[in-house]
């Protein structure tokens, strides 16, 4: 009973904000594109910089964690490709949704709620790895002619480099400046959860069978690969638990955005994202039970 109450206490704030966004989006037609752009360019960028700059960041301590995330992403893509071949789904419809999970909207808040604020730099490392691969490898998979040279000009990538430099060198920040950046970063998580709820109102359920395949394959493959990568790389207990939790996350909403942009069956990808996020109500408690 105590474990169930703890899991409920961790998940309730997250799903409450998602639910609020969902019901608001059902009652009011809402265009969240401006809010989402602001969140990615300003608030999440501030969160990343604040999390990395406020710590003495030794890259050697996080290299194994970053590599484990890369292994999980690439391995999930291979699993998605194989499952797609077996089920008759187009590989480029299913595989990216297994590779790139909801590491921002759900991953960061879930990590903080589960392990406390000290885990934020670790969660940011996983988010940065996933985002960088999604905007590079993920885009290339859908369009081999896409120009990736502008990747390093993304605000979140620049914030990562700046945060790592400040944290690694131990450069002290003026306290009012650090507080201002932190306040901007604090906006990102609630806004991301609310926006996810609004976005889910656009999902199509007519392709629920395809959605169900992705909803089950994504967390099962992710958790198995996270466990194997953590053991193989000798990650410590906290990092191993964090990897397992991230392995259970549902597909990222950005998969739908990219599928629509590159004309890769966006209706089916929307179903995978929608059903996958709904299925997280089942898989996230399982993952929490394993790590707590």
Q: Rounded to an integer, what is the distance from CA 288 to the centroid of its chain? A: 16
Q: Of the segments 6-20, 26-40, 58-72, 188-202, which one has the largest average pLDDT value?
A: 58-72
Q: Check residue 31 and give left, alpha or beta (phi > 0: left; psi -120 to 50: alpha).
A: beta
Q: Quick one: pLDDT band at residue 72, thresholds 50, 70, 90?
A: very high
Q: What is the pLDDT of residue 51?
A: 77
Query: Could you tell me which residue, 196 or 232, shows the higher pLDDT?
Result: 232
Q: Token pair of 274, please?
A: 């929608």
Q: What is the pLDDT of residue 9?
A: 79
Is the pLDDT reported for residue 206 higher than 70?
no
What are residue 257's phi and psi, to 5 degrees? -60, -45
Is the pLDDT reported for residue 7 higher than 80?
no
Q: What is the pLDDT of residues 133-185, one digit of tens each?
A: 887 888 889 887 767 666 667 787 788 788 878 877 778 888 999 999 999 98
Question: Does the CA dihedral 227-232-236-237 come out positive or negative?
Answer: positive
Q: Quick one: pLDDT band at residue 205, thresholds 50, 70, 90?
A: low
Is the pLDDT reported for residue 99 higher than 80?
yes
Residue 138, SS3?
A: helix
- Tell me the C-alpha distance between 32 and 197, whole Å: 11
Is the pLDDT reported for residue 17 higher than 80?
yes
Burial 20-39 (b: 16+ CB within 10 A, else e): ebbeebeeeebebeebbeeb
Lookup result for tokens 């609020």: 20
Q: What is the pLDDT of residue 149?
A: 66
Q: What is the pLDDT of residues 29-38, one digit of tens each?
A: 877 778 877 8
Which residues, in sequence order, are bridge partners of residue 251? Answer: 101
Q: What is the pTM of this model?
A: 0.79
Residue 251, SS3?
A: strand
pLDDT averaged over every residue in the chain: 84
Q: Token pair of 247, please?
A: 């392995």
Is the pLDDT reported for residue 117 higher than 80?
yes
Q: Please report, in angstroms and rounded to a whole number, the separation of the first and last CA atoms in the chain.
A: 13
Which domains are present in the chain? 2-291 (1.20.1530.20)
What ranges in the chain are assigned the alpha helix state H?
Answer: 2-27, 33-38, 44-53, 59-87, 91-99, 108-115, 120-133, 139-142, 155-169, 175-200, 208-233, 237-247, 254-261, 266-291
Q: In the predicted model, what is the mean pLDDT of residues 252-271? A: 78
């Amino acid at each position: 009973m105590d474990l169930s109450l703890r899991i409920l206490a961790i998940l309730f704030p997250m799903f409450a904000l998602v639910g609020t966004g969902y019901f608001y989006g059902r009652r009011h037609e809402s265009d969240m594109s401006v809010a989402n752009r602001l969140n990615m360019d300003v608030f999440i960028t501030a969160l990343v910089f604040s999390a990395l700059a406020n710590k003495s960041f030794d890259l050697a301590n996080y290299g194994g964690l970053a590599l484990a995330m890369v292994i999980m992403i690439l391995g999930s893509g291979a699993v998605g490709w194989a499952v797609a071949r077996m089920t008759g789904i187009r590989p480029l419809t299913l595989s990216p949704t297994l590779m790139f999970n909801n590491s921002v909207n759900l991953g960061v808040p879930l990590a903080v709620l589960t392990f406390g604020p000290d885990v934020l730099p670790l969660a940011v490392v996983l988010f940065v790895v996933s985002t960088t691969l999604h905007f590079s490898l993920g885009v290339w998979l859908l369009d081999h002619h896409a120009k990736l040279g502008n990747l390093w000009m993304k605000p979140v990538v620049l914030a990562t480099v700046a945060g790592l430099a400040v944290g690694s060198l131990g450069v002290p920040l003026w306290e009012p400046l650090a507080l201002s950046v932190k306040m901007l970063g604090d906006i990102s998580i609630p806004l991301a959860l609310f926006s996810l709820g609004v976005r889910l109102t656009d999902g199509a359920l007519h392709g629920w069978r395809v959605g169900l395949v992705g909803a089950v394959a994504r967390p099962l493959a992710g958790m198995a690969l996270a466990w194997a990568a953590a053991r193989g790389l000798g990650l410590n207990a906290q990092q191993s638990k964090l990897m397992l939790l991230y392995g259970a996350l549902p597909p990222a909403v950005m998969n739908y955005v990219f599928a629509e942009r590159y004309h890769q069956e966006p209706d089916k990808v929307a179903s995978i994202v929608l059903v996958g996020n709904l299925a997280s109500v089942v898989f996230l408690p399982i993952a929490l039970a394993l790590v707590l």
